[in-house]
């Protein structure tokens, strides 16, 4: 019966269509996918026919006199992605066409290249491009970031480089590695970020906490590492880079391969290996300063405009040897090192990594999912897992050298979600939630009392950010965030320390076990922090504009600030935290003014940051032990003020010459004691002259001069009793080194290798004149000069 | 509707996740500092009879805030040769650990410096060298003969008062000229005793 009906239909339908004249009409409307706003002047073309119509102001269009059948339409609009649509026309056929109107929202589908958005609209923000990052392939993230204005670093030798933004570092600087906030014991001065610089496609720096979606506690700023975009098309490409350096007599190899499909599927693998031996100062070998680093990432997923997901795993391992001469016994040893002028232990060059050294392994796993809702916005959901294991090996007595003195394992789970309403052209809103659980385990097998205790930490945060485009020239943005942090620690205190700190009067109820000379205590602290931001961006014309931003940020103290208690051999100091420490609160006002003229331009970025309960670690007194005397470095809170400015000028002298000039200044003041803040970067000036000739195989050569002023504003030195000298001596731990001037050279040229591959060779020379210098923000400045000349040769293959 | 479903699923997942992370309430194990030297005892025995003089520095909280307790049992006699010995203990462990064994096993990496100062009329001489001790690494006596200073002699002359500083250095330059400045290395222990010769 059914079959018969089908046959009849089959017989009638073609007949009727033949009989019918071509009078069908296609009626339609073109709208924006997000806002559902009608789009005018969208061109609708019948593929294979010379028929084209345009949409009217209400987005409507009509194509009359069509024969029934299937057609293919090409819909294009100047501000949108062109769309191909297959349609069956039968009678008067309605058709609604949605175009992706927000080009800037096409992040996920944009073709490989420089297509990263600014993260904020009104904050001071700068970005390092891939080619700059590649120059630092054998260095670290911290080294590369110093190319930007207002960014310096706190170093422990050449291998441990902590990025410092506007004078602040450590827990005050958030590092986002492809959307994941790094949890890698950033609290220690000698803990560098566990990141392979070769895995980043670009790095943005926001100088302040105004990017509240990442956290409300970035009193210093936020560093955002993004991977390069992966195109949605059938393609296979890769890159291999081999670098060799003279100082350290080693190098680095890094390689990556990406396979992508038109369907949105992609897979990407990346790996790098770095090995350097002892570094060298101009006059001597810096014994035991080698490094080995391994990084690898595998990532896959499916990305489409409306939805997508990706999963990623990355591994990072670094083994860093620490200058042998910087491991000392007591204050007399420190005085001797400061007075000696050169390290006490200088051996022949070696690749061996001996004690003292640290070995850190970081695992990062991430799963992300996004979905766009038509006429509404985009939902993101992410889970990430991080595991950070840190071993620190000291010079120890007996056969203990092979056993770590510090053995910490930090495990973090984070769940976050946010939703961005971008349907409205003028107004956008983003809101999100975050939950995080973190656990630290301090292994007792070290035979050394724990510097950082076992703890559990719970975070919960929520934020809302909005931006409003008032007109073509003016944009306002604002946001609010709330963070709750609970830290639940179990820590052993020496009974004598517990009493010396006065905890026996305030915190006696925290004791859960009394072992006589040691007390086990269980502090549980809650912190409620609110942060907010308000800012505007005004363009005077196409060539000039101003940005102004105010941010309130609050940061809960980290475990080191609360619980630190013990002797740090690497610095010959006793570091003491304080259970009474409260959150820091920062009010920062920052502005940026830029103007471009025909052959030159400038950017001026002043800021002022007032921090209530600013946390600082500085030498306060001396304690005596059987080993001798040790300076005590205590965490304390004060009200601080940081003022500064970053300036940038470029001049095009007519092709191919160009010069760039940068100047950065930060002044930090302890308002309660009316004294300078410790560890503020010195003012510095950088000038660069570049010769760029693209027609000579992209040839570039640049000469750079860097002048670092002496930091004249430092807190006073402390006086200590030297048992060896049997008298009080001035311990010059705060005396800054002299100003210095370094020259550098960079050069680069590219060669095509066949149709799809090319080779770029580059030469970089740092400290060209082999100048002897010491830097105020290098913790090894008491023991040895900084690095001498370093020549790097790099070969890069793109295929 | 779909949106709400999504958001609520996520909120639910978040609750589960928080709920799972319940702490197990186990207390961490205490750590007894292994390398601490709490106590240094210097024994000075006069040759040919007389009162033994004992110098002690004791700091039971190790690197903690309390300063070491220093005691000197009595005065030295003039024009006397004392046979001296140093004993190091870690009394945070029970029974107390004798640290001398470790120093002896690494005699080539350690040296005591016995520095007379402040006008005390006395001199010190090393009475041992590395070959007196058995290497922990090889199980045999060291073959090198640099001084170690676990055993020494102190020779007094006229009545006076001053100091004796006893310092143990780890990984000093060996051989050295007998001064702390030349030897370098890291200080494992140091104490200065006020002494009187009468």
Give yes or no: residues A247 and A392 share one domain.
yes
Q: Select from A627, A632, A633, A721 the residue whose CB has the most chain B CBs within 10 Å, as the one to mutate to test that interface.
A: A627
DSSP state of A611: E
Q: Which residues of B touch A623 (CB under 8 A)?
A: 65, 67
- The pLDDT tens digits of the residues spanning A398-430 come to 778 888 989 999 999 999 999 999 888 789 999
Of B28, B31, B67, the CB nearest to A624: B67
- pLDDT for position A619: 87
pLDDT at B6: 52
Mean pLDDT of B5-27: 53
SS (H, E, C) A567-590: EECCCCEEEECCCCCCCEEEEEEE
Report pLDDT digits (tens) over A153-170: 999 989 999 999 999 999
Residue A231 lies in a domain: yes
Contacting residues of A for B7, CB less than 8 Å apart: 379, 417, 419
Peptide bond into B95 cis (omega under 30): yes
- Chain B CB contacts of A338 below 8 Å: none
B106: closest CA of chain A, how far (Å):
7
Rounded CA gap, B174 and B188, in Å? 16
% of chain A residues with pLDDT over 70:
94
A172 belongs to a structural domain = no
Higher pLDDT, A344 or A638: A638
Is A187 within the bounds of a domain?
Answer: no
Of the candidates B44, B38, B68, B58, the one whose C-alpha atom is nearest the C-alpha of residue B195 is B44
* Within-domain flag for A614: yes
Task: Read off the pLDDT of residues A480-518 as tens digits, 9 standing for 90 and up.
Answer: 999 999 999 999 999 999 999 999 999 999 999 998 889
The conformation of residue A67, written as its DSSP 8-state character, comes to P
Mean pLDDT of A627-643: 91
* ipTM score for this prediction: 0.81
Question: From the CA of B1, how many Å to the nearest CA of chain A?
Answer: 11
Tokens of A664: 């950065």
Nearest to A517 among B23, B34, B92 (CB): B92
Mean pLDDT in chain A? 89
Read off φ and ψ for residue A470, nearest 5 degrees.
-70, -45
CB contact under 8 A, B30 and A520: yes
- Across the range A40-59, mean pLDDT stands at 80
- For the residues of A635-682, what is the DSSP string, one character each? EEEEEEEEEEEEEEEEEE-STTEEEEEEEEEEEEEETTTTEEPTTPPP
pLDDT of residue A232: 86
Kindly tell me if the per-residue pLDDT of A1 is higher than 70: no
Q: What pLDDT shows up at residue A727?
A: 86
Of the three residues A52, A71, A101, the one that is the final residue of a domain is: A101
The pLDDT value given to residue B9:
55
Q: Which of B38, B118, B184 is the closest to A726 by Cβ?
A: B118
Contact of A772 with A283, CB cutoff 8 Å = yes
Q: Which of A96-105, A158-167, B2-11 has the lowest mean pLDDT?
A: B2-11
Mean pLDDT of A129-137: 90
Instruction: For residues B149 and A305, give the distance between their C-alpha atoms in angstroms, rounded to a whole number.
Output: 78
Of the pLDDT bands very low, low, confident and very high (cuts 50, 70, 90), residue B49 is: confident
Q: Compare all CA atoms of chain B with the CA of A417 and give the residue at the minimum distance.
A: B10
Question: Cβ separation of A623 and B67 shorter than 8 Å?
Answer: yes
Contacts of A267 (CB under 8 A, 6+ apart): A258, A259, A298, A299, A300
In a domain, residue A161? The reply is no
Domain boundary among A77, A101, A125: A101
Asked, for residue A600, whether it belongs to a domain, the answer is yes
Q: What's the pLDDT band for A794 if we cut at 50, 70, 90?
A: very high
Judge whether residue A114 has pLDDT over 70: no
pLDDT band at B25 (very low <50, low <70, confident <90, very high): low
Minimal Cα distance from B115: which residue of A?
A724
> How do A573-576 and A628-652 pair as beta strands?
parallel
**Residue A180's closest CA among A301, A313, A87, A71?**
A313
Q: Which of A70-79, A409-418, A468-477 has the highest mean pLDDT?
A: A409-418
> Residue A330 to residues A533, A574, B60: CA-CA distances in angstroms?
46, 10, 18
Q: How far A486 CA sits from the closest chain B CA (Å)? A: 13
**CA-to-CA distance for A581 and A171, rounded, in angstroms?**
15
Task: Compute the CA torsion angle A32, A36, A37, A39 (nearest 10 deg).
Answer: 40
Q: Is residue A30 predicted with pLDDT exceeding 80?
A: yes
CATH number of the domain enclosing A86? 2.60.40.1120
Q: Measured between beta carbons, which residues in chain B are less than 8 angstroms from residue A406? A: none
Cβ distance B27 to A397 less than 8 Å, yes or no, reads no
Whether A336 and B163 lie within 8 Å, measured CB to CB: no
pLDDT tens for residues B52-62? 999 999 998 88
CA distance A478 to A468: 9
Residue of B nearest to A726 (CA): B192
Residue A439 and residue A455 in contact, taking contact as beta carbons nearer than 8 Å? yes
- A154 located within any domain: no
Identify which of B7, B21, B29 has the shortest CB distance to residue A437: B21
Coil, strand or helix at A323: coil
Name the β-bridge partners of A371: A307, A379
pLDDT at A3: 53
Chain B's closest residue to A346, CA to CA, is B173
State which of A83, A101, A119 marks the end of a domain: A101
| pLDDT mean across residues, chain B | 86
> Considering only CA atoms, which of A105, A364, A414 is closest in space to residue A225?
A364
Condensed to tens digits (0 to 9), the pLDDT of residues A555-580 reads 999 999 999 988 876 677 889 999 99
Q: Which domain holds residue A354?
A: 223-798
Mean pLDDT across the stretch B136-162?
93
Specify the CATH number for the domain of residue A362: 2.40.170.20
pLDDT of residue A108: 33
In terms of CA atoms, which chain B residue is nearest residue A448? B33
Query: How confident is the model at residue B22, as a pLDDT?
Result: 45
User: Between chains, do B64 and A433 touch, taking CB under 8 Å as contact?
Assistant: no
A129 located within any domain: no
| More confident: B12 or B64 | B64
Whether A88 and A232 map to the same domain: the answer is no
Q: What are the C-alpha distances in Å from A9 to residues A14, A33, A430, A641?
A: 9, 39, 54, 85
How many structural domains are present in chain A? 2
Higher pLDDT: B96 or A290? It is A290
- Condensed to tens digits (0 to 9), the pLDDT of residues A684-694 reads 999 999 999 98
Instruction: Flag if A627 and B189 touch (Cβ within 8 Å).
Output: yes
- What six digits make up the tokens of A485? 């942090």
Residue-level pLDDT at B110: 94
- What does the pLDDT read at residue A101? 56
Q: What is the pLDDT of residue A62?
A: 85
Residue A629 has pLDDT above 90, yes or no: no
Alpha-carbon distance A259 to A799, whole Å? 12
């Amino acid at each position: 019966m059914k079959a018969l009906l089908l046959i009849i239909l089959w017989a009638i339908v073609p007949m009727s269509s033949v009989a019918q004249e071509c009078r069908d009409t296609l009626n339609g409307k073109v709208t924006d996918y997000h806002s559902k706003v009608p789009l005018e002047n969208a061109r609708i073309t019948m593929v294979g026919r010379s028929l084209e119509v345009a949409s009217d102001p209400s987005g409507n269009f009509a194509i009359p006199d069509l024969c029934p059948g299937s057609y293919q339409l090409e819909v294009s609009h100047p501000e949108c992605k062109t769309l191909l649509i297959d349609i069956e026309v039968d009678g008067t056929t309605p058709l609604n066409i949605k175009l992706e109107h927000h080009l800037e929202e096409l992040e996920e589908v944009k073709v490989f290249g420089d297509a990263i958005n600014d993260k904020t609209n009104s904050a001071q923000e700068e970005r390092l491009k891939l080619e700059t990052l590649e120059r630092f392939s054998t260095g670290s993230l911290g080294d590369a970031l110093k190319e930007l204005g207002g960014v310096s670093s706190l170093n422990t030798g050449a291998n441990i480089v902590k990025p410092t933004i506007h004078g602040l570092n450590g827990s005050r600087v958030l590092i986002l590695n492809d959307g994941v906030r790094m949890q890698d014991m950033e609290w220690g001065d000698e803990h560098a970020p566990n990141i392979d610089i070769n895995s980043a496609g670009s790095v943005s720096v926001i100088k302040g906490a105004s990017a509240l979606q990442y956290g409300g506690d970035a009193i210093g700023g936020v560093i955002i590492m993004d991977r390069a975009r992966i195109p949605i098309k059938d393609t296979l490409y890769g890159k291999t880079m081999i670098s060799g350096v003279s100082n350290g007599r080693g190098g680095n190899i890094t390689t990556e391969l990406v396979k992508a499909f038109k369907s949105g599927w992609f897979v990407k693998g990346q790996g790098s290996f770095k090995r350097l031996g002892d570094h060298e100062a101009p006059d001597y070998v810096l014994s035991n300063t080698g490094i080995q680093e391994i990084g690898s990432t595998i990532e896959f997923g499916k990305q489409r405009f409306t939805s997508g997901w990706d999963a990623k795993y990355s591994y990072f391992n670094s083994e860093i040897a620490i200058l042998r001469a910087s491991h000392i016994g007591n204050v007399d040893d420190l005085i001797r090192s400061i007075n000696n002028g050169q390290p006490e232990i200088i051996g022949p060059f070696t690749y061996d990594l001996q004690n003292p050294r640290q070995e850190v392994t970081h695992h990062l796993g991430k799963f992300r999912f996004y979905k766009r809702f038509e006429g509404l916005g985009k939902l993101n959901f992410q889970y990430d897992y991080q595991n950070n294991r840190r071993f620190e090996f000291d010079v120890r007595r007996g056969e203990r050298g092979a056993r770590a003195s510090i053995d910490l394992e930090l495990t973090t789970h984070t769940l976050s979600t946010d939703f961005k309403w971008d349907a409205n052209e003028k107004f956008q809103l983003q809101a999100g939630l975050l939950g995080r659980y973190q656990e630290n385990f301090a292994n007792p097998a070290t035979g050394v009392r724990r510097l950082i205790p076992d703890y559990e930490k719970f975070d919960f945060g929520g934020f809302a950010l909005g931006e409003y485009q008032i007109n073509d020239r003016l944009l306002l943005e604002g946001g609010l965030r709330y963070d709750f942090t609970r830290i639940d620690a179990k820590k052993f205190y020496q009974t004598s320390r517990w009493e010396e700190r006065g905890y026996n009067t305030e915190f006696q109820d925290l004791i859960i076990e009394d072992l006589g000379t040691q007390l086990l205590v269980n502090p549980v602290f809650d912190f409620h922090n609110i942060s907010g931001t308000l800012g505007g961006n005004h363009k005077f014309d196409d060539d000039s504009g101003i940005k102004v931003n105010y941010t309130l940020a609050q940061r809960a103290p980290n475990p080191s600030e609360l619980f630190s208690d013990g002797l740090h051999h690497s610095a010959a100091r006793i570091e003491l935290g304080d259970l009474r420490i409260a959150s820091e609160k920062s009010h920062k006002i920052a502005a940026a003014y830029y103007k471009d003229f025909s052959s030159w331009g400038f950017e001026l970025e002043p800021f002022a940051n007032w921090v209530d309960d600013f946390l600082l670690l500085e030498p306060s007194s001396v304690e005596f032990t059987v080993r001798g005397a040790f300076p005590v470095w205590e965490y304390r809170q004060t009200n601080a003020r940081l003022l500064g400015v970053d300036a940038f000028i470029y001049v095009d002298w007519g092709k191919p010459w160009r010069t760039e000039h940068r100047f950065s200044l930060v002044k930090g003041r302890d308002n309660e004691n009316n004294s300078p803040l410790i560890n503020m970067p010195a003012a510095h000036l950088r000038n660069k002259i570049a010769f760029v000739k693209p027609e000579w195989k992209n040839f570039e050569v640049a000469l750079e001069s860097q002048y670092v002023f002496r930091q004249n504003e430092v807190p006073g030195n402390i006086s200590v009793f030297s048992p060896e000298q049997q008298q009080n001596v001035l311990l010059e731990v705060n005396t800054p080194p002299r100003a210095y001037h370094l020259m550098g050279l960079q050069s680069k040229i590219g060669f095509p290798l066949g149709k799809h591959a090319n080779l770029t060779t580059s030469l970089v020379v740092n400290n060209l004149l082999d100048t002897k210098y010491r830097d105020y923000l290098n913790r090894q400045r008491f023991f040895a000069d900084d690095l001498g000349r370093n020549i790097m040769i790099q070969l890069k293959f793109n295929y | 509707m779909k949106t709400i479903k999504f958001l609520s699923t996520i909120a639910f997942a978040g609750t589960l996740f928080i709920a799972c992370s319940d702490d197990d309430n186990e207390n961490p194990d205490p750590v007894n500092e292994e390398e601490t030297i709490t106590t240094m005892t210097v024994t000075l025995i006069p040759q040919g009879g007389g009162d033994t003089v004992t110098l002690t520095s004791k700091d039971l909280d190790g690197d903690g805030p309390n300063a070491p307790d220093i005691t000197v049992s009595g005065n030295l006699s003039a024009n006397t040769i004392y046979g001296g010995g140093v004993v190091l203990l870690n009394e945070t462990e029970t029974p107390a650990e004798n640290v001398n064994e470790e120093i002896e096993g690494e005699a080539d990496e350690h040296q005591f410096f016995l520095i007379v100062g402040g006008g005390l009329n006395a001199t010190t001489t090393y009475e041992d060298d590395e070959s007196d001790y058995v290497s922990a690494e090889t199980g045999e006596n060291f073959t090198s003969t640099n001084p170690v200073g676990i055993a020494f002699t102190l020779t007094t002359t006229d009545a006076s008062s001053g100091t004796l500083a006893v310092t143990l250095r780890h990984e000093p330059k060996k051989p050295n000229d007998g001064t702390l400045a030349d030897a370098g290395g890291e200080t494992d222990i140091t104490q200065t005793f006020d002494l009187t010769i009468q």
